[in-house]
Structure 1
Amino acid sequence: MLNSCKKKVEESPKPFDKVEEVAYASFGNEIIADDAIVSTSMTEHYKTMNIGDSINSKMIAKVNNVCQAKGCWMTLNLEDGNEVMVKFKDYGFFVPKDIAGKEVVINGKAFVNEVSIDEQRHYAEDAGKSKEEIAQIIKPKKTYSFEADGVLVKQ
């Protein structure tokens, strides 16, 4: 006969873990936040891409800047000192101009692009940069870009 000196501990029933509901404002195509990759993972994808390469993706990141003219583009923080320029597919929708600092989920196509001097200056003007800052833009720039067909803004 075997005896155990351990006392069986009765576990009290645990309540179900509460799943926090996150509210989002939706722009463009209807998308869900599930399966979005974090910005640091997206950074690793961008580092392996060349100009002209693209991948379909869904990512979550914080907004750095938004076009102050009409909300027609935004930049997102990639957490490594880089950012991604996000435009909206066919200019079919815009985002609110006051979402800098908020978390967003974007769905669409990630790609690496070379942005001309004129286009960089246009974006700098939209962002409210000074004439001196705009004048310092003197060469094309390799950028991480994203064409979003849907955006969720965390409320």
Structure 2
Amino acid sequence: MKILATIFLIAFTIMSCKEQEGANDNAFAKAESVNTTLQDEYVSYGAAISSENSLTKSEVAERYAALAEGDTAVVKFEAPINAVCASKGCWMRLDIAYEEQVFVKFKDYGFFVPTDTKEGSAIVEGKAYLEEVSVGELRHMAEDAGKSKEEIAAITKPERELRFMADGVLLKAE
């Protein structure tokens, strides 16, 4: 009788463990599904940032309008991507309101975005500022963007530009 009771207890223990494993697998699958959903929505570059509380294009344009030369503002905003450095992905241009663009660089040259990023939108978090860009840098950026020699040669004056140093970037997944 003791042998029968021992066999029964062993069988019961094994069956209990199997049910527990199945419950854990199911919980893991649910957690993995939620994580995949978030990953499917955005691809992150640089510092981890969230998509919550992002300013709109027009709100960030108002922030830039309030900046004076030498001022900075820490902001997070979402805007359509206009261009990306075709050479390395080391910068991008985002469209904001009033037909203006923001030139985005990445903090400490520490990360890049894919060079084939042409459409969609990005969420960036970091520092907004104004800068006068030299002719040399403007020509370098035009070269990185794949402009013709004639277009590059036509750049003869420095320009005041809306700039942004991004700590982190979220790109909408395709």
Tell me the equivalent position of 1:33.
Answer: 51
Helix, strand or coil for the counterpart of 1:33? Answer: coil
Structure 2: stretches of 5+ with no match in the other structure: 1-36
Tell me the equivalent position of 2:98.
Answer: 80
User: What do residues 84-112 of structure 1 show as CA deviations (whole Å, max 9, x unaligned)?
Assistant: 00000000000011222211100000001
The alignment status of 1:148 with 2:154, answered yes or no, reads no
The alignment status of 1:106 with 2:124, answered yes or no, reads yes
Query: Aligned partner of 1:149: which letter?
Result: D
- Compare CA radii of gyration and give the structure with the larger one: 2
The alignment status of 1:93 with 2:111, answered yes or no, reads yes
Tell me the equivalent position of 1:130.
Answer: 148
Helix, strand or coil for the counterpart of 1:85? Answer: strand
Helix, strand or coil for the counterpart of 1:42? Answer: helix
Give the Å deviation of 1:80.
Answer: 1.5
Which runs of 4 or more aligned residues in structure 1 lie more than 4 Å from their structure 2 counterparts after TM superposition? none
User: What do residues 108-131 of structure 1 show as CA deviations (whole Å, max 9, x unaligned)?
Assistant: 000011100000000000000011
Give the Å deviation of 1:53.
Answer: 1.1
- 1:63 and 1:76 in contact (8 A); partners too: yes
Helix, strand or coil for the counterpart of 2:124? Answer: strand
Query: Aligned partner of 2:74: which letter?
Result: N
Give the Å deviation of 1:79.
Answer: 3.0
- In the superposition, the TM-score normalised over structure 2's length comes to 0.75
Structure 1: stretches of 5+ with no match in the other structure: 1-19
Tell me how far apart the structure 2 counterparts of residues 97 and 44 of structure 1 sit (CA, whole Å).
29
Pick the structure with more helix per residue. Answer: 2
Tell me the matched-pair count: 136
Give the Å deviation of 1:45.
Answer: 1.1
